[in-house]
Amino acid sequence: MRVLTFLLLFVSLVLHADIYTQKLYERVLGSIFTHRPIVAYVVGDARKDLEQSHLFRVVSACSDDVNVVIVDAYTSIPKECSYKPVFAITHKAYQKTPQAFGAFYWFKGRPQLHFRSAKMAELGLSLSNELQRYADE
């Protein structure tokens, strides 16, 4: 049932990308991280989407509190966050950031959700059943 709900959300995302991107972040990252609110450091423009969500607290500087680093471009991640879990939100950022454990981006007009299983295991993160099908390895 949860898988079906998630799939519905995923399809809805295609229909109403702007509205549902934020909800997808909440759903995906909310199921991976148990900490509330999830403290996120954003490199790039996704800040706005996360700031509107109650699930996230977006910080402007890297610190120990940070739960996840979200990148939307291939830029160097600050040293303080280099060991933090990274989630990419563009195709290019996912390709160029090997330490990213997962990504959500648009590719050829289609929403893509990917997780690197090995990286997740390394970071001690796990995927819920509904997201298992998006794991790459």
Partner 1 sequence: MQMSRRFSFFKSIYLVYLLASMIFFLSFYIYKTFDETSEEISSLTLRSNIEYIDNVTSNIAQHLIYAANGASLEEALAKDTRLREHLEHILEVLVTKRYRYIYVVDKDAKGRFRLLLDGAKVEKGTFLEMFQPVNAKRWLQVYEKKKPTFFHHKEVKGIWMTYLKPVLLNGRVIAVIAIDFSLKEQQTLQQILQDLAKVLGVFITALLFVLLMLIVFAYIDRKRVDMLTRQAEEIKNFNITLRQKVKEEVAKNREKDKKILEQSRLAQMGEMIGMIAHQWRQPISAISATAITIMMKAKMDMLSPKEAAEYAEKISELTQELSKTIDDFRDFFKPTKERKSMTYKSLVKQTLNIVEVSLHNKNIDIIVEIESDVEFCTYTNELKQVLLNLIKNAEDILIEKKVENPYIKISAKGNRLCVRDNGGGIPKEIEKKIFDPYFSTKSKNGTGLGLYMSKIIVEEHCGGKLLVSNDEKGAVFVIELPPSECE
Residue 110 binding partner 1, by CB under 8 A: yes
The end-to-end CA distance of the chain, in Å, is 24
Q: Which of 18, 54, 64, 108 binds partner 1 (CB under 8 A)?
A: 108
Residue 136 binding partner 1, by CB under 8 A: yes
For residue 105, the cross-strand partners are: 112
Q: Which of 59, 114, 123, 128 binds partner 1 (CB under 8 A)?
A: 114
Candidates 26-34, 57-65, 66-74, 88-96: pick the segment binding partner 1 (CB under 8 A). 88-96
What is the distance between the alpha carbons of residues 98 and 63, in angstroms, rounded to a whole number? Answer: 21
Residue 18 binding partner 1, by CB under 8 A: no
Instruction: Work out how close the CB of 40 gets to partner 1 at its nearest, in angstroms, rounded to a whole number.
Output: 24
Residue ranges with strand state E in the chain: 38-43, 56-59, 68-71, 86-88, 100-107, 110-115
